[in-house]
Amino acid sequence: MSKNLATKAVSGLKWSSAGTIANAVMQIGYTSAMARLLAPEAFGLVALSAVILRFGYYFANLGLNQAIIQKEELTSENIRAAFTSSALLGAVFTVLAWVLAPYATLIFDMPEVVPIVRVMSLAFVVGGISATATSLLQRNMRFKELSIVETASYVISYLGVGILLAWLDFGVWSLVYASLVQQALVAIGAHAMARHNILPVVRWEAYRALLAYGSKMSVISFFEFIYTELATLLIGRVFGAYKLGIYNRAFMLVNLPMYNLTRTVSRVVFPSFSKLQSETEKLAKVYLSSTTLLATLIIPVCLGIMVAAPEIVRVVLGDQWLEAIPVLQVLSLAIPLSFVTMFAGIVCDAKAVLNWKIVITITLIVVISGLFFLLRDYGLVGFGFALLISELVRIGMYQTLMKKILDLSYWKQLRVYLPGIMNGAVVAIVVYLASTLFRNIELPHLVVLVLQMVTGGFVFLAMILLFPHSALKEQLHMVFSKLGVQDNPGSYFGRMLMRYRKSLIKETEHV
């Protein structure tokens, strides 16, 4: 990776991470407040409506977002073509959703979803107008501006509009309006930052290259949507809105922080990988290092969530959500595997190896459908285990594909999981022992949760900094170098990091 590209990538990670941390903190407060103001049925209805609309979302966009980022040479006509397509498709799908919304009752015997689907379909228009601007910001790695826009929009829409409307007894509509306001604010902010040409273009050549790539990405995204949302569809159909609300909140408790974290990384990594699409050896090296660092971070966090699930549910959601505890514990094993394989999918996107990605996704849909059928008698926990097994299948399939397109052995790929698994096991054991002590002396749940977080964080940092796995040492050295640690010897903290970095260099040379 060139020095300039690496510098932009690190800067992008800094700003995206800052925005992610801010949003994550606010989301905890928002989730906690809304869980106390609204019933589980409200979350279930919005989850079902969102799933219905996402059927159309992937074709309303036609993968043009990714096409703008991935294309090596992007012309002004391409930008105009992307905006014209996205805006028109957004308007068309809003009309279609409005007309077809009543037919949702054929799938779910819940007429309440019809008006919700109709109002939420306005997101097609808003998304169509903003898609090109946000993609250009990502392509040019302007993550500082994007993070500011997203954080500000979240504060206004969710912490302002959403909680206020829920307090005023708007019920499920408080969730709907908060989402629409947030998307509208992002659209306004992105256009103010990007300021691209919005004049329509009619020349087919401007569309052809974008649609050739984007249409395949759209198909892939649609199949991935079916795979990820199959649980929502089946739970809503079989168990109803209440059970779906329980599953949805358990899923979001572990998925949302991981999504925010990996979204931060993926938004930076995709344009970086795309710029290396013709340099296979460099791309393979960056892929391994990125996956190692991500696995090292999210696997211990998710295993910590699994142990602390009783306190997390009681503190964040409240005592009326206790049924979510075992579901959250199972999902804490499955979801990190899903996010760690994310980089393999991004490699396929960057190198335009899309046919194989379609095959993998369709296979996973078949696998998880069969597992849901076999484990349906075990309720929500059974659905969680079905997801866990299917994620293990996904890892195997993507590793086979990475061996083919990046010439990486299975051992090199499996090795990236070792630091995360080993550190995660230590974190989980220590937090479990500490939790047993804290619970036995009957401390308040909030105090126990804070102590769990402090204990887990301390053990996690100790394992990474004091006892790093050999597969992690080189990656830590690279991170410290990119952060410019060697250029800051003036402070005690800077000198300490410099000494630590030098020790990593010596240890790496002996590995």
- The per-residue pLDDT for 293 is 81
Other CB atoms within a 10 A radius of the CB of residue 218 amount to: 22
E strand or H helix that includes residue 352 = none
pLDDT higher than threshold 50 for residue 504: no
pLDDT higher than threshold 90 for residue 6: no
Site of tokens 């500000």: 152
- The per-residue pLDDT for 505 is 46
On whether the CB atoms of residues 194 and 136 are closer than 8 A, the answer is: yes
Taking residues 320-348, report their average pLDDT.
88
Q: For 261-290, what is each residue's pLDDT tens digit?
A: 776 666 555 555 555 555 677 778 878 887
Beta carbons within 8 Å of 81's beta carbon, 6+ residues apart: 201, 206, 207, 210
Q: For 135-159, what is each residue's pLDDT tens digit?
A: 888 777 777 787 788 888 888 988 8
User: Is the pTM value of this prediction over 0.75?
Assistant: no
Coil, strand, or helix at residue 500? helix
On whether the CB atoms of residues 69 and 271 are closer than 8 A, the answer is: yes
Distances, alpha carbon 348 to alpha carbons 148, 362, 398, in Å: 30, 16, 10
Assign residue 141 a region (left: φ > 0; alpha: ψ between -120 and 50; beta: otherwise). Answer: left
* CA nearest to 295, candidates 430, 405, 395: 395
Distances, alpha carbon 2 to alpha carbons 10, 129, 286, 392, in Å: 12, 33, 12, 34
Q: For 452-487, what is each residue's pLDDT tens digit?
A: 999 999 998 888 777 666 656 665 555 555 545 455
* CA nearest to 316, candidates 472, 116, 504, 450: 450
- Length reported for the chain: 511
